[in-house]
């Protein structure tokens, strides 16, 4: 029987963030268990867009903190996260005009650099784009995208310097409790005695909860991205979100462009232990159609493949984070719902403060697991099923 002060289950961005900030706070002996390898599932397939356009105060404040962390990745996140500050452009159509205006108002109120762009301004910024149905743009010059694998590895590597033990290929197989208190974790390599467990198991979080008879409502959706070769002389391109076509695209390393489907999402149910992780022809077409409408030059660009991965979705499309009232010492940190990558580091920082008995710099009470039964889900000005 080994011992630890905290055990984190899951080595995606959420588990890595929790581990990093607990280690940074010198919480004690911290162990992270990852059944496969770091960033093996949703995190490794994330578009990893880092933007701040949120329509509620809590996510906006966290996204603002996230942006600062990525800008200062070596000090804040432990090393190279591959952050590319190419800017983020929201193409606003007549239907999204009121939300677009709210975003500018809210972001400005939160001290973020956000610009209202006319169609002519957009043409200057990204001349490749066709602007049919676009009435204006909302542009975040400081936003961009990161490398999700590098980010996870940097968080872990720095935490290892502070004493974290991260085990890959080591699965949690059970959780022990006594008198309503966590006492240990069973693993494929033996048991670990601990008073604190963080469930950061992504798509398997509900399964892990079931070991403790804790109930969580989660859905899974199959989500795909594809790549095309960036034509020569294409010019600079920000991350583009196109709500009119429910599409997004952005530059990617090695002269590629990455594209996927935007919100609101049609749920494509899957089981995380048995799903098709390839880019199927129908999904490829669903992503390509809106992409080619906005960027005609890509229609003849070389297709470079793609994949399908998993969104783990909560009832209000926002993560579930915090102490579980059912079992002392048991904490939730999962349910990224398609936008959890950027939010994970600031939420991990806040959760680590809470576990260390301190007040977090950003209050994350809004993410508490009980919010659904208390009738206080998190809302978005975009409406239900949206993560903005
Ligand atoms: C295609 C796609 C595009 C996305 N784009 C963006 C974006 O642009 N911006 C953004 O902010 N977010 C985006 N997201 C969402 C974001 O990537 C996820 O919310 C986030 O990666 C979830 O991280 P996680 O750590 O909860 O889950 P995961 O990365 O899935 O990690 C969970 C880990 O737990 C491990 N695990 C499970 N059970 C056990 C066990 N019993 N023992 C040990 N380990 C276990 C798994 O192996 C897995 O590695 C996107 C997601 C996808 C799929």
Shortest-distance atom of ligand 1 to CA 312: 19
Taking phi first (over 0 means left), then psi (-120 to 50 degrees means alpha), and beta for anything else, what does residue 230 get? beta
Residue 348 Cα to ligand 1 middle (Å) = 14
Q: Residue 385: pLDDT band by 50, 70, 90 thresholds?
A: low
Residue 159 Cα to ligand 1 middle (Å) = 19
Contacts of 58 (CB under 8 A, 6+ apart): 362, 363, 364, 366, 367, 378
| Residue 226, beta-bridge partner list | 259, 306
Cβ(307)–Cβ(278) below 8 Å: yes
Report whether pLDDT(388) > 80: no
Which candidate, 318, 313, 384, 339, places its Cα nearest to that of 53? Answer: 339
Question: What pTM was estimated for this model as a whole?
Answer: 0.98
**214-227: pLDDT as tens digits:** 999 999 999 999 99
**164-191: pLDDT as tens digits:** 999 999 999 999 999 999 999 999 889 9
H or E, element range at 313: strand 303-313
Residue 296 Cα to ligand 1 middle (Å) = 32
| Residue 185, beta-bridge partner list | 175, 192
Q: Whose CA is nearest to atom 51 of ligand 1?
A: 46
Pick the CATH number of 88-141+221-313 from 3.30.9.10, 3.30.530.80, 3.30.70.100, 3.30.2270.10: 3.30.9.10
| Residue 50, beta-bridge partner list | 144
Alpha carbons 260 and 240: distance in angstroms, whole number: 11
Looking at residue 373, its pLDDT comes to 96
User: Looking at residues 94-103, what average pLDDT do you find?
Assistant: 93
Q: Which residues line ligand 1 (CB under 6 A)?
A: 9-15, 33-36, 40-43, 45-49, 171-172, 200-204, 223, 225, 260, 309-311, 334, 336, 338-342
Strands 190-193 and 2-3: parallel
Q: Whose CA is nearest to atom 25 of ligand 1?
A: 12
Fold designation for 2-45+149-218+316-371: FAD/NAD(P)-binding domain (3.50.50)
Q: 282-314: b or e for each residue (b if 16 or more CB lie within 10 Å)? A: ebbebbbebbbbbbeebeebeebebebbbbbbb
Residues 328, 356, 19, 147: what is their CA dihedral angle, to the nearest 10 degrees?
120
Residue percentage of the chain with pLDDT more than 70: 98
Show the tokens assigned to 300: 């003849």
Show the tokens assigned to 260: 């996927």
**260-271: pLDDT as tens digits:** 998 877 899 999
Could you tell me the residue ranges of all domains in the chain? 2-45+149-218+316-371, 88-141+221-313
Looking at residue 232, its pLDDT comes to 92
Report whether pLDDT(254) > 80: no
Looking at residue 288, its pLDDT comes to 98
Shortest-distance atom of ligand 1 to CA 337: 19
Show the tokens assigned to 33: 């268990």
Report whether pLDDT(286) > 70: yes
User: Looking at residues 300-315, what average pLDDT do you find?
Assistant: 97
């Amino acid at each position: 029987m080994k011992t630890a002060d905290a055990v984190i289950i899951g080595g995606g961005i959420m588990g890595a963030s929790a581990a990093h900030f607990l280690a940074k706070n010198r919480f004690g002996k911290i162990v992270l268990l990852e059944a496969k390898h770091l960033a093996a599932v949703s995190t490794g397939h994330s578009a990893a867009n880092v933007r701040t356009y949120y329509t509620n105060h809590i996510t906006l404040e966290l996204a603002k903190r996230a942006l600062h962390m990525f800008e200062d990745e070596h000090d804040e996140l432990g090393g190279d996260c591959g952050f590319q500050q190419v800017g983020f452009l929201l193409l606003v159509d007549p239907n999204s005009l009121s939300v677009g205006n709210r975003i500018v108002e809210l972001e400005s109120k939160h001290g973020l650099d956000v610009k209202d762009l006319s169609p002519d301004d957009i043409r200057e910024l990204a001349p490749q784009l066709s602007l049919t149905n676009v009435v204006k743009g909302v542009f975040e010059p400081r936003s961009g995208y990161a490398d999700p694998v590098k980010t996870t590895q940097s968080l872990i590597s720095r935490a290892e310097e502070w004493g974290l033990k991260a085990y890959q290929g080591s699965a949690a197989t059970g959780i022990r409790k006594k008198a309503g208190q966590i006492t240990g974790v069973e693993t494929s390599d033996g048991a670990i005695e601990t008073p604190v467990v963080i469930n950061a198991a992504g798509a398997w979080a509900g399964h892990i909860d079931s070991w403790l008879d804790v109930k969580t409502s989660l859905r899974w959706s199959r989500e795909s991205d594809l790549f095309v070769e960036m034509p020569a002389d294409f010019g600079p391109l920000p991350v583009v979100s196109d709500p009119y076509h429910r599409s997004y695209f952005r530059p990617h390393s090695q002269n590629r462009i990455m594209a996927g489907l935007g919100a609101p999402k049609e749920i494509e149910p899957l089981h995380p232990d048995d799903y098709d992780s390839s880019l199927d022809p129908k999904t490829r077409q669903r992503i390509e159609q809106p992409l080619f409408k906005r960027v005609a030059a890509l229609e003849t660009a070389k297709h470079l493949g793609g994949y399908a991965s998993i969104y783990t979705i909560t009832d209000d499309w926002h993560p579930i984070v915090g102490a579980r009232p059912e079992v002392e010492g048991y904490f939730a940190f999962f349910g990224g719902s398609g936008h959890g990558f950027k939010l994970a580091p600031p939420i991990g920082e806040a959760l680590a403060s809470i576990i260390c008995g301190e007040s977090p710099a950003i209050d994350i009470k809004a993410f508490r697991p009980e919010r659904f039964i208390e009738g206080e889900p998190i809302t978005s000005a975009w409406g239900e099923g949206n993560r903005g």
